[in-house]
């Protein structure tokens, strides 16, 4: 008879169960995995907003143990965003929440050239290989790399993500990587936007796609 997996690690988003990360029958195994996840390095570019309503995302990772009569605590005491204490538990018969910690999910970037989502470190690596004078600019949810007449477009889910990605790349390329060949320009004025729309349309990009402020 197959043994029931007693120990679990579950990802929550905005206090709703999102994903089963890991489960096992072994107490040492769950302790090791829990330590690995808690000490894992957070990526530079993580999810902050998402879903059809473009709501702010609050991720948490919970350690779940089997419930028993010897357990001293069935719930975990936490503070909400206003500093108020509340009891966090899990609605799973026969289980209890042992611990819960803040967590994250890595955000992806859409590369329109290869028609695939890529990770932040992949985009940064691509830019590190650029030795020519290059310009990086944003237009609504899109981030662009321009080298002379060549333009590459990268998509984000919303305006907040586009701004965050721009700021992260500027900091990493100019401050940490010392790549002085990059010029960073944010689309601030209406005149700039009109010029960029016309330029990008000539490069084959659709104006309806460039206008978009949010995608999911």
- Same domain for 95 and 144: no
Q: Which two tokens stand for residue 187?
A: 């689309």
- Same domain for 121 and 91: no
Q: Looking at beta carbons, which pairs linking 190-193 to residues 24 or more positions away fall under 8 Å?
A: 193/139
Residue 109 confidence class, pLDDT cut points 50, 70, 90: very high
Residue 174 inside a domain? The answer is yes
Residue 135 inside a domain? The answer is yes
- Same domain for 93 and 118: no
Residue 134 inside a domain? The answer is yes
Residue 2 inside a domain? The answer is no
Residue 190 inside a domain? The answer is yes
Number of structural domains (the chain) is 2
What is the rounded CA–CA span in Å between residue 16 and residue 88? Answer: 11
- Same domain for 138 and 98: no
- Same domain for 126 and 97: no
Determine whether 196 is exposed, middle or buried from the number of CB atoms within 10 Å of its CB (0-12, 13-18, 19+).
buried
Of 102, 137, 166, the one marking the end of a domain is 102
Of 76, 102, 128, the one marking the end of a domain is 102
Distances (CA, A) of 111 to 8, 34, 115: 35, 33, 6
Residue 1 inside a domain? The answer is no
What is the rounded CA–CA span in Å between residue 161 and residue 6? Answer: 38
What angle in degrees, to the nearest 10, is found between the helix axes of 159-170 and 120-128?
A: 40
- Same domain for 197 and 159: yes
Running DSSP on this structure, what letter comes out for residue 27? H
Q: Are 138 and 162 in contact (CB under 8 A)?
A: yes
- Same domain for 150 and 60: no
- Same domain for 113 and 189: yes
- Same domain for 80 and 163: no
CA dihedral 8, 13, 17, 20 (to 10 degrees): -40
- Mean of pLDDT values over 50-64: 89
Running DSSP on this structure, what letter comes out for residue 81? T
Note down the domain range covering 91.
7-102
- Same domain for 63 and 127: no
CA dihedral 151, 155, 159, 162 (to 10 degrees): -70
pLDDT tens-digit readout, 111-130: 999 999 999 999 999 999 99
Percent of the chain at pLDDT > 90 equals 59
- Same domain for 181 and 123: yes
- Same domain for 78 and 54: yes
State yes or no: pLDDT of 185 exceeds 70.
yes
Identify which of 10, 155, 37, 2 has the alpha carbon closest to the alpha carbon of residue 92: 10
pTM for the whole structure: 0.81
Q: Which two tokens stand for residue 57?
A: 């995302």
Percent of the chain at pLDDT > 70 equals 85
Name, in order, each residue with C-beta under 8 angstroms of 199's C-beta and a sequence gap of 6 or more: 151
Residue 216 inside a domain? The answer is no
Of 54, 79, 102, the one marking the end of a domain is 102
pLDDT tens-digit readout, 139-157: 889 999 999 888 899 999 9
Distinct helix (H) and strand (E) counts, the chain: 5, 14
């Amino acid at each position: 008879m197959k043994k029931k997996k007693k120990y679990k690690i579950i990802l929550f988003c905005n206090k709703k169960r999102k994903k089963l990360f890991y489960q096992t029958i072994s107490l040492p195994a769950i302790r090791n995995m829990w330590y690995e996840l808690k000490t894992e390095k957070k990526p530079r570019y993580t999810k902050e907003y998402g879903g059809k309503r473009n709501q702010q995302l609050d991720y948490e990772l919970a350690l779940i143990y089997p419930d028993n009569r010897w357990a001293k605590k069935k719930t975990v005491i936490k503070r909400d965003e206003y500093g108020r204490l509340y009891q966090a538990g899990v609605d799973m018969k026969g289980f209890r929440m042992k611990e819960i910690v803040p967590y994250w999910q890595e955000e992806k970037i859409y590369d329109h050239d290869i028609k695939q989502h890529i990770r932040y470190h992949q985009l940064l690596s691509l830019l590190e290989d650029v030795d020519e004078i290059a310009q990086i600019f944003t237009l609504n949810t899109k981030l662009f790399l321009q080298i002379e007449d060549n333009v590459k477009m990268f998509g984000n889910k919303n305006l907040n993500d586009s701004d965050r990605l721009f700021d992260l790349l500027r900091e990493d390329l100019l401050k940490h990587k010392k790549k002085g060949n990059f010029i960073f320009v944010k689309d601030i004025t209406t005149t700039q936007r009109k010029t960029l729309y016309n330029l990008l349309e000539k490069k084959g990009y659709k104006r309806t796609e460039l206008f978009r402020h949010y995608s999911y």
